[in-house]
Chains A and B, each alone.
Chain A
Amino acid sequence: MNTAFHLDDATVVAYAGGSLSNCLSVVAAGHVAMCDHCRAKVRRAEAVGAALLETSDAQPMKPDALSAVFERIDGSDWVQPMTRSDASDDPDPSLPLPVSRLLDHKLDDVRWKTAGPGVGIHVIEKNDDGSSLYMLKVRPGHKLPDHGHDGQEMTLILRGAYRDEIGRFAPGDVADLDEYIEHQPVIEDGEDCICLIATEAPARFKGLVPRLLQPIVGI
């Protein structure tokens, strides 16, 4: 699949290194699953991890480690060898696997909570450190409040499309924004726009009403 907007190279590095925060990793994985370009980039960055692994300080394993592994292979937690054709349970095959795994059922069956006129929210994870992972479903023609962030925000478009100061974002595109960027997405006419969004810190809304809504919406 060809997508127009990609992960920041710094995000590719953090993702490949395993040090990107959980919520951001899920959105990055969703985009990578839909984007050949970024998948190739992540593989390149993972080769860096491999080089560091080869040169890392080796620590001796316990003397019986290998026999313990063979015992487990032979024992109760023996798993059938997997092949590349094995497919896992997938609640919604129309979505990339890292995203569909977040749902218990199809995207069409998600129960959205109202988060303001024309906006539905489905919170997947909300952490004490302020980071969160959620989906938004926004009506065509709707304008989201102008906002910025104290940390990184990553948005993956799943359905529909929106435009903002940066460009037009369609399914598979990711908006990988840092704390300096303020934007005001406007949903395109036609169909609802559904996005998966991860933030490192709560959004900073500009207007008074959105600010008042924030504790209710919870983002």
Chain B
Amino acid sequence: MIAPAVTDGIRRQTGKNPQAELFAQLLNDVAERRDRHAFAQLFEHFGPRLKGFMMRKGANAELAEDLVQDAMIAVWNKAGMFSPGKGSVTTWIYTIARNLRIDRLRREGSRYFTDIDDYEEASDDPASDDVVIGKQQDVAVTEALDVLPDDQREVIVMAFMDDMTQSEIAEKLDVPLGTVKSRMRLAYRKMGSVLEDLR
């Protein structure tokens, strides 16, 4: 948890999701001033969550710790590339950690692909259809997830948290692949409309 005193010290706008604004401010301090105190606060919040996330996806404690360190070093190095209009800090850190983990698995496999998502950072095109997401994003998505029907929430959790492919999910649930896909589509459309409303 972040100490209340720290939150109080941050400039707030309209009182919307102060946590997301705090993270954006801290990341900005890391980018502009190489602020280690700000980085330590991000580390304190995201380190344990990322570690739990990696372990849920099958990494042992050692590998998870390692991946979290790599992810946080990437956060330090790439802080200047964060673009607040394209999502929250949590989303940005999630994608960094996801890519690092995939990258590591691939390196241990037969062929090694470098970060496939780097284009998002490399090409800074002001695309007209880009989502400009407000500060309330994290809260709204959590609420949308909570109200999904159980069978739709289940496939989302399996895909995001348990690292299962659609075929593996179908096998585990003993349903046809097409059923897994249609549940994912329905879940996406419900949550997608919540996110679009924030534009």
Contacts and interface: CB of A to CB of B under 8 A. Distances in A.
Contacts of B12: none
Specify the main secondary structure of chain B where it touches its partner: helix
Interface residues of B, number: 93
B123 interface: yes
B56 interface: yes
Interface string B131-157: 101000110011001000000000011
Interface in B53-80: 53, 55-56, 61, 64-65, 68-69, 72-73, 76-80
Nearest to B186: A9
A88 B119 CA distance: 10
B165 A44 contact: no
Given A13-B188, A22-B113, A58-B51, A68 B145 contact: no
Interface stretch (A78-86, A104-112, A154-162, A190-198): A78-86
Contacts of B102: 18, 25
Contacts of A36: 127-130
Interface string B150-179: 000000111111011111000000000110
Contacts of B177: 178-179
A17 B156 CA distance: 8
Interface string A74-110: 0001011111111110000000111001100000000
A36 B129 CA distance: 6
A146 interface: no
Nearest to B129: A36
B68 to A, nearest CB: 7
B111 interface: yes
A60 interface: yes
A199 B82 CA distance: 34
B9 to A, nearest CB: 20
Given A9-B184, A39-B127, A51-B138, A72 B65 contact: no
A4 interface: no
A47 interface: yes
A58 B52 contact: yes
Contacts of B90: 50-51, 53-54
B95 A46 contact: yes
Interface in A20-66: 20-22, 25-26, 29, 32-33, 36-37, 39-41, 43-62, 65-66
Question: What range describes how many residues of A lie at the interface?
Answer: 35 or more
B16 interface: no
Contact of B181 (A8, A25, A50): A8
B164 to A, nearest CB: 6
A12 interface: yes
Contacts of A84: 80-81, 83, 121, 124
B113 to A, nearest CB: 7
A141 interface: no
Contact of A44 (B49, B114, B163, B196): B196
B137 A47 contact: yes
A172 to B, nearest CB: 13
Contacts of B76: 69, 73, 81
A9 B187 CA distance: 9
A70 to B, nearest CB: 7
Kindly list the 6 A-B residue pairs having the minimum CB-CB distance in the complex, ordered from nearest: A58-B48, A17-B159, A10-B181, A36-B129, A50-B91, A17-B160
Given A13-B185, A19-B159, 11 more contacts: A14-B165, A47-B87, A49-B98, A50-B137, A51-B142, A52-B53, A53-B50, A59-B64, A61-B51, A77-B73, A84-B80
